[in-house]
Structure 1
Amino acid sequence: MIARLIVQTLLGLAGMGVLLFGAAGTLAWPGAWCYLLEMGVLGVWVGVWLARHDPALLAERLGSFVQRGQSAWDKFFMASVVVVWCAWLILMGLDARRLGWSSMHPSLQGIGALAILVSMVAIRSVFRANSYAAPVVKIQSERGHKVSDSGPYAYVRHPMYAWAILFLVGMPLLLGSWWGVFCVPLLVVGLAYRAVLEERMLCAQLEGYAEYAARVRYRFVPYVW
């Protein structure tokens, strides 16, 4: 499974690199190289940790974005995510390098790198608390799916999405793209839309989730939403 993790990580990095540098029109983009290096190191680190502590979850995380048992609306959502993600990378390549629309201070790029690091470390804590944190929305009956309410789930119902917001802010900062930053609110709206639909399914199909949702009031940020 480690070999599969490394192969998929390299393929993902290569795909992002093609989009970023292709849109930039140059390989002379330190921010993009730093982003790819950071994502490679952190991705393998989290994956190796999962291989040791929760190989079943790692298998889920390495699965396809379209799976049997996945909600139909989520299949459409994930297909849309692929398109939006690619368009976002291309926009940031055009903005930060080819067209030079943005000018960002190196300190902000450093903050972006730190935000990515913090988000990935925090997401590992989410995996520790929830063995069913698959990338797709489905009930994992074959794995004895049950409600996770410990760790970060004691404070918000979707801690992975919450930390993903920090990642989404950090990424365009590190790449030096203000236009990428301006797109983040739209991406957050997409996450919020998915969270609401996911909760409807879980309340209907996962025993105890409705009671959990009533007990833990907030989805992403305590006292906000």
Structure 2
Amino acid sequence: MVTRLFVQTVLWLAVMAVLLFLPAGRVDWPGAWLFLAETGVLSIVVGLWLAMHDPALLAERLASPVQRAQKGWDKVFMAGVTALFCFWLVLMALDAARYRWSAVSPWVQGVGAALIFISIAVVSLVFQANSYAAPVVKIQAARGQTVISSGPYRYVRHPMYAGAILFFLGTPLLLGSWYGLALVPALIALIALRAVLEERMLSAELEGYAAYAARVRYRLIPLIW
């Protein structure tokens, strides 16, 4: 399992490196190297923690993004958001490194790095609280999935998506691309749509979820939505 974790992480980092450095036309791009290093190291650290404390969840996280038990609409979502994410990386490379349309100060890039760190910290708290935090939308009946209301789930119903929003905000700042930041609302809208559709499934198919949703009012951001 640990070997698979390292292999998949390295492959994903390699894909992102190609999507960043190839359109950038250069490799002397500190922001991109920092982004890859931070996300790679933190992903490995969280993955190793899962290997020791929740290998079943790690197996779910390393599984295919398209699965038999997965809802059909989520398969379409995963394909669409993956394509948009790849386009986003290319856009930021063109903006920040090749044509340099944007000018971002170092302290703003530092804020971006901090947001990425916080986002992965939030996700790690989700993993500690929820052993069913699979990357795809499905009911894990074989694992006896139940409603989770502890940890960050006491405050919002989708804390992992809240962490993803911080990642989406931090990435263009660290890479130095205001054009990349301009695309973030579209990514957030997709995450919000997925949260709504996922809740419909959970309310219909997971016992106790409707009561939990009535008790915890906010989906992503406390006091807002």
TM range (shorter): over 0.9
- Distance apart, 1:56 and its partner CA: 0.3
Equivalent-residue separation in structure 1 for 2:188 and 2:129 (angstroms): 23
In structure 2, the partner of 1:38 is 38
Equivalent-residue separation in structure 1 for 2:48 and 2:158 (angstroms): 23
- Distance apart, 1:176 and its partner CA: 0.3
- Distance apart, 1:82 and its partner CA: 1.2
Matched residue SS, 1:139: coil
TM-score (normalised: structure 1): 0.99
Q: Which blocks of at least 5 consecutive residues in structure 2 are unaligned?
A: none
Q: Structure 2 matches for 1:1-225, cutoff 5 A?
A: 1-225=1-225
Equivalent-residue separation in structure 2 for 1:119 and 1:32 (angstroms): 18
Could you list the runs of 4 or more consecutive aligned residues of structure 1 that deviate by over 2 angstroms after TM superposition? none
AA at the equivalent of 1:203: S
Q: Which blocks of at least 5 consecutive residues in structure 1 are unaligned?
A: none
AA at the equivalent of 1:178: W
- Distance apart, 1:81 and its partner CA: 1.2
AA at the equivalent of 1:194: R
Deviations 1:33-85, CA, capped at 9 Å, x for gaps: 00001111000000000001110000000011101110000000001011101
Q: CA RMSD in A?
A: 0.6
Equivalent-residue separation in structure 2 for 1:92 and 1:222 (angstroms): 30
Equivalent-residue separation in structure 2 for 1:72 and 1:3 (angstroms): 30
Identity among equivalent pairs (%): 63
Matched residue SS, 1:80: helix
Equivalent-residue separation in structure 2 for 1:137 and 1:127 (angstroms): 16
Equivalent-residue separation in structure 2 for 1:42 and 1:144 (angstroms): 29
TM-score (normalised: structure 2): 0.99
Equivalent-residue separation in structure 2 for 1:108 and 1:210 (angstroms): 41
Equivalent-residue separation in structure 1 for 2:189 and 2:82 (angstroms): 16
Matched residue SS, 1:125: helix
